[in-house]
Amino acid sequence: MKTASTCCAMPPSSPGFTPQPLDHSPASGDGAPTVAPLVNDLFMAHLQRRPAGLVGVMGRMTAEVDRICAMSDRIQTSGEVGHWQTALVRHRVSKCLAYYDMGSNHQGRVELHSSLSAIVYRHVAPRGSNLGFQGRYALLEDFMQNFYIEVLNAFRREHGLAETYTPRTRIELAEYMAFSEQYAKRRISLRGGHSQQLIVLRAQAFSRRQPSETSVDMALVTEGAKTEAAEGHARSSVVQQVREKMMADADDPGDGVMRDRVVNALMQYLKEQNQPDCVDYLVLKLQDCSAAEIDDILGLSSRERDYLQQRFKYHVEKFSQQHEWELVHQWLGANLESRLGMTPREWGGFLATLPTDYRNFLTLKQTQPSLSNEAIAQALGWTPKKVQRNWTKLLKLAWHYRNQSHGSEAS
């Protein structure tokens, strides 16, 4: 099985965080607290020194976050400006340091190129073309070279830098690559209330400039059936809802932060489980690649693809219902405080289906969330392992009941 060395990797990010409001920073010119001290503290805590170019990087990052928060009506009217300042700073710094830690001269560039290439791979060729992987790859490289020129010009323009500015030090290169990722993924509003990533729009415009082709790839004739079989695993409500939420637009800054936390946590979990093929598969699914494209990129046979899909489904369910159930359910708006995503009526119906010990279990979880598994086991007369096992079972029952109820309403 080939690895997705040039099209599938996603730049790693620092683990998730819980934003805390700024409450002691000096004020900036417009009266709002400036993020400069936090930017400095986060960089110094990680680097333990001041490498060449760091002062300029910190200054640009501070100005950018202050500007975003000052210009955003959503943030200004939220009553939590400090909260969003902190969230944005931590996100920006973590992205920059992730590229810095990779070594910006090589690995960082490879990771960035792989991530952005995976997004636009299916968009660079004209619709209906019969190009295979090699043909698309050649177009992809042409497009990416042009896009990098656009990114550098945008970086200079947005930060008020000279037209001759070029990042040279390791920290400057890391800053530039983090900006490149963020710039490429900016959402551009379209007619009809839709939006699309900027790099996708650029790739689509690039493809329209390519010579049209009239030949038809006969493999596309059977792709519908192939896709139907390949996508069978998505019928799992856990996999489908997590994936749909990952691909959804993040209109609120908080949604974007939560999405990044979940994606990063899932990527890290798959790496810890020694599942590099699942990592590659996840990245391509997030870009909504078809089954045929995934097979082409990863070099999968039908049997290998089916096996990979089953492994991926297993690990996503385990991640969502055991490893990081609180994070995932909070992100989906289905945590305990929200009755696991049910309406009061649905919640009452769900509780009525449970045996008494399970209802007592849920009550303990809701009313005393800080209780350990050992304490719950003692209260219910279970073992700690049984607590974990039954909690996973309860979450599965809740997923099934909620989706069944919503399905009945839709019909």
With cut-offs at 50, 70 and 90, classify the pLDDT of residue 262.
confident
Does an H or E element contain 170, and which?
helix 170-184
Tell me how far apart the alpha carbons of residues 236 and 244 are, in angstroms, rounded to a whole number: 12
Question: Domain 336-410, what fold?
Answer: Arc Repressor Mutant, subunit A (1.10.10)
* DSSP character at residue 103: -
Split at pLDDT 50, 70, 90, the class of 257 is: low
Statement: residue 35 has pLDDT above 90 = no
Give the pLDDT band (50/70/90) at residue 349.
Answer: confident
Confidence label for 347 from pLDDT (cuts 50, 70 and 90): confident
Average pLDDT, the chain: 75
Query: How does pLDDT run across 181-194, given as a tens digit for each residue?
Result: 999 998 888 777 77
Q: What is the pLDDT at residue 389?
A: 86
Give 206 or 255, the one with higher predicted confidence. Answer: 206
Structure tokens at 138: 């050649």
pLDDT: is 378 or 223 the higher one?
378
The answer to whether residue 296 scores a pLDDT higher than 80 is: no
Count the residues in the chain: 411
Contact 317, 239 (CB under 8 A): yes
| Stretch (H or E) spanning 187 | strand 187-189
CA distances 148 to 7, 51, 153, 154, 184, Å, are 16, 25, 9, 10, 10
Q: What band does 222 get if pLDDT is binned at 50, 70 and 90?
A: very low
pLDDT digits (tens, 9 = 90+) for 100-116: 998 756 778 888 888 89
Q: Over 80: is that where the pLDDT of 17 sits?
A: no
Residues 1 and 277 sit within 8 Å (Cβ to Cβ): yes
42, 93 contact by CB (below 8 A): yes
User: How many helices, marked H, and strands, marked E, lie in the chain?
Assistant: 19, 2
Question: In whole angstroms, what separates CA 379 from the centre of its chain?
Answer: 39
pTM, to two decimals: 0.47
Least confident of 206-215, 275-284, 285-294: 206-215
pLDDT band at 331 (very low <50, low <70, confident <90, very high): low
What does the pLDDT average to over 238-263?
Answer: 58
pLDDT at 4 > cutoff 50: no
* 139-169 residue pLDDT tens: 888 899 889 999 999 999 999 999 899 898 9
Q: Tell me the residue type at 281.
A: Y
CA-CA distance, 305 to 66, in Å (whole number)? 47
Residue 60 pLDDT more than 90? yes
Every domain of the chain and the residues it spans = 36-208, 225-331, 336-410
Give the whole-angstrom CA distance, residue 342 versus residue 330.
13
